[in-house]
Amino acid sequence: MKLTKVFAFMALAGLAGSAYATNGDNLIGLGAQSRALGGTGTAAFFGSENALTNPALLGKMQGTEFAIGGTFFMPDVKATTDVAGWRGSATSDADLSVIPEVSLATRINENLTFGLGMFGTAGMGVDYRGDSLDNALLFEGYTNLQLMKFVPSLAYNSGPFGLGAAVVIQYGALDINYVGPAGSTGNGTSTDLQLGFNLGGYYDITKNLTVGLAYQSEIGMEYDGQLTTAADGFGIGPNGMGTISSDKLAQPAEIKAGVAYSTGPWMLTGDYKRVMWKDADGYKDFNWDDQDVFGLGVKYSGNSWWVGAGYNYGSDPINVLPSEQSMVGYSNQAVNLFNNHFFPAVVESHFTVGGGYALGKHTMLEGALVYADDVSKTVDTGTISSVMGAGDPTAFPVNATSHTVDHSQLGITVSVRMNF
pLDDT of residue 86: 84
Phi, psi of 235 (to 5 degrees): 80, 15
| pTM for this model (two decimals) | 0.90
pLDDT digits (tens, 9 = 90+) for 40-76: 999 999 999 998 899 999 999 999 999 999 999 999 9
Q: What percent of the chain has pLDDT over 90?
A: 78
pLDDT of amino acid 11: 40
Options 3.30.70.3280, 3.90.1310.10, 1.10.1530.10, 2.40.160.60; CATH of 2-419: 2.40.160.60
Instruction: For the chain, give the percent of residues with pLDDT over 70.
Output: 95
Question: Across the strands, what pairs with 165?
Answer: 154, 199
Sequence spans of domains, the chain: 2-419
Nearest of 284, 223, 214, 224 to residue 252 by alpha carbon: 284
Return the pLDDT at 7. 36
Per-residue pLDDT, averaged over 158-179, amounts to 96
Is 80 exceeded by the pLDDT of residue 390? no
Q: What share of the chain is helix, strand, coil (3-state, %, to 5)?
A: 15, 50, 35
Mean pLDDT of the chain: 91
Neighbouring-strand partners of residue 410: 74, 371
Mean pLDDT over residues 199-227, rounded?
A: 97
Q: What is the pLDDT of residues 104-154, one digit of tens each?
A: 999 999 999 999 999 998 788 999 999 899 999 899 999 999 999 999 999
pLDDT band at residue 19 using 50, 70 and 90 as cut-offs: very low
**Contact yes or no for 95/80 (Cβ under 8 A):** no
Identify the H or E element spanning 248: none
DSSP conformation class of 288: B
Of 182, 194, 178, 203, nearest to 257 by C-alpha is 203
> What is the predicted pLDDT for the residue at 240?
84
286-342 pLDDT per residue, tens: 999 999 999 999 999 999 999 999 999 999 999 999 988 888 899 999 999 999 999
Confidence of residue 173 (pLDDT cuts 50, 70, 90): very high
Question: How many whole angstroms separate alpha carbon 330 and alpha carbon 392?
Answer: 10
